[in-house]
Amino acid sequence: MQIMETVILGVYLVLMTIIGIYFTRRAHSSESDYWTAGKSINTYVGAFALFAALASSSSLMGAVGSGVALGIPFLFAYGFGAVAILPFTLFLVSGQIRRSGVNTLPEFFKQRYGNAVQIVAVFIVVIGMTFYMVPQLTASGLIGSYVLGIDYTTAVIVLGIGFTVYAALGGMWAITYTDLIQGAVMLIGMLVLSLIILVQHDGFSSLIQDALATTPTFGDITQPWMSYFGLFLAFLWFGIVSPSAVMRNFASKDAKTARRSAMWACLLYLLIFVFGLIVAAGGASLGIADTLDNQDMIFVLVIESYMSPLLAGIMLAGLLAAIMSSADAMLLAISAGVARDIYKEYMNKEASEKTVTKIGFAVMIIASIIGIIIAINPPQLIAIMVGWVGGFLLSAFGFPLVLGIWWNRANKAGALAGMIGGAIMFLIIVITEPFALVSEPVIAAPVSLVLTVVVSLLTDPPSAETQKQVGRYHGEIDAEELDTTAS
């Protein structure tokens, strides 16, 4: 057991749980408070929350581990796509989807396309976000087993339950304000670690030379071009298609705040990948990657090699922050999909807000348990698992969502065809493996686009009222005018 690191991680977990308990009453007072923090989050808090939701274990452990194992080009493909997430999101959906007035991504699909599309969307959200829990739990298990001196399975269970409790208790209020702290811890920790590595290697140029001398494959192209392009696409679209990230837009005060939050979050995320390159080079210079059973552990070993126990404990808390800040957002997306978009919408329309939030609480617990079970025997490197999730959500949601915002001719039949066709094509490619690793969205996403457009054009256009919704998304028609037209 690493005593100092254990104490710091324990204090950190207790602090996050206290914040969750503090926000319990406010979060459970209404559905809006539980899932969107009352739509009252400002630019500063929203930027850190969005950054923290995106900067998961994949952005830290996954990026560094895959960078050392598969080379700098793989890290660059990941990093370029991830950093471009927020400018892409800022232009395509941030302000527009905030003007829709909804609380969840499936609810948007209902507003734009109808009930059937909402139900399919919930099903996809639950599958995608539950699997997205797996790399977060995998990372927590690796950290816990190393720091606490317990076996991997026990660490996954203990830490998985830990971050589920505060998210379930405090909803979006707790998640947003814990993400503010977690984002700051991540950023400062990565900055300090990067500076220590650069100082010990006498600068960036010397660091790269040391890394290549110790691990010559660090600079090699190790994968087919489709792997790099597929990974880039999966992360480029992640801020648009990931329900956990999109829900941050719904929590903003207004459309302008949502856009500003995305802009500042982009700068924070860029810094993380600059630091990640330095940390990966530091890991390659250790020359121990080939000796590890799980190469994602290289990040933890870099921390232990370059930092004192006190600083290592703080940095590991930052790494745990990355895991928790993404996992809690995923749990919230799953619970909202089931409790709000299915139970209240179709099973019990008269359900009280407290009943709905209690069901959301129970759903979080169940989703966490399923994620823990899968994470006990994870299928791949963390970055690759996250790439699969991003590719799956892009293949299912990407074009039905963006075309729904920008093209008033997109209709229910087209959206259903695009969602289902894209998702099925993605799963077929993953199962049969005819192409390179994480290249699935290169094929599946265009299939979704073609199906959405062609089926929409071959079937009846949406109603005039629905088409006017598109004007509302772009601020051309306000909500009052739309309501007057509908009545």
pLDDT for the residue numbered 407: 92
Nearest to 42 by CA among 267, 322, 256: 256
pLDDT for the residue numbered 33: 59
More confident residue, 218 or 1: 218
Name the pLDDT band for 207 (thresholds 50, 70, 90).
very high
Q: What are phi and psi of 426, to 5 degrees?
A: -60, -50
Q: Is 467 a residue whose pLDDT tops 70?
A: yes
More confident residue, 284 or 249: 284
CB half-sphere exposure, 218, CA atoms < 13 A: 27
Residue 426 is encoded by which pair of tokens?
């993605």
pLDDT for the residue numbered 363: 84
Q: Is 86 a residue whose pLDDT tops 80?
A: no
Residue with the two structure tokens 């970055």: 383
Q: Is 447 a residue whose pLDDT tops 90?
A: yes
- In terms of average pLDDT, the best of 166-175, 211-220, 329-338 is 211-220
User: How far apart, in whole angstroms, are the C-alpha atoms of residue 139 and residue 130?
Assistant: 15
Please report the DSSP string for 253-291 in residue order: SSHHHHHHHHHHHHHHHHHHHHHHHHHHHHHHHHT-GGG
Q: CB–CB of 106/337 below 8 Å?
A: yes
Tell me the percentage of the chain whose pLDDT exceeds 90.
19
Q: Is 125 a residue whose pLDDT tops 70?
A: yes
More confident residue, 21 or 355: 355
**Domain residue spans in the chain?**
3-378
Instruction: Work out the average pLDDT over 63-68.
Output: 82
Average pLDDT for the chain: 80
- In terms of average pLDDT, the best of 16-30, 272-286, 314-328 is 272-286
Q: Is 147 a residue whose pLDDT tops 90?
A: no
Name the pLDDT band for 183 (thresholds 50, 70, 90).
confident
Name the pLDDT band for 206 (thresholds 50, 70, 90).
very high
Q: What is the pTM of this model?
A: 0.74
More confident residue, 392 or 41: 392
pLDDT for the residue numbered 448: 96
Q: What is the DSSP secondary structure assignment for residue 379, as one 8-state letter?
A: -
Q: Is 64 a residue whose pLDDT tops 90?
A: no
Sign of the CA dihedral running 190, 192, 198, 203: positive
Q: Is 485 a residue whose pLDDT tops 50?
A: no
Considering just the CA atoms, what is the radius of gyration of the chain in Å? Answer: 22
pLDDT for the residue numbered 432: 87
- The string of pLDDT tens digits covering residues 321-363 is 667 666 766 777 788 778 878 888 888 888 877 788 788 778 8
User: How far apart, in whole angstroms, are the C-alpha atoms of residue 142 and residue 133?
Assistant: 14
pLDDT for the residue numbered 385: 79
- In terms of average pLDDT, the best of 76-90, 176-190, 445-459 is 445-459
Name the pLDDT band for 201 (thresholds 50, 70, 90).
very high
3-378 — its CATH code? Answer: 1.20.1730.10
- The string of pLDDT tens digits covering residues 34-63 is 655 566 677 877 777 777 767 666 667 777
Q: What are phi and psi of 419, to 5 degrees?
A: -65, -55
Q: CB–CB of 214/287 below 8 Å?
A: yes
- In terms of average pLDDT, the best of 64-68, 87-91, 121-125 is 121-125
pLDDT for the residue numbered 65: 81
Q: What is the DSSP secondary structure assignment for residue 125, as one 8-state letter?
A: H
pLDDT for the residue numbered 421: 96
- The string of pLDDT tens digits covering residues 406-429 is 999 999 999 999 999 999 999 999
Q: What is the amino acid identity at position 67? A: G
pLDDT for the residue numbered 486: 44
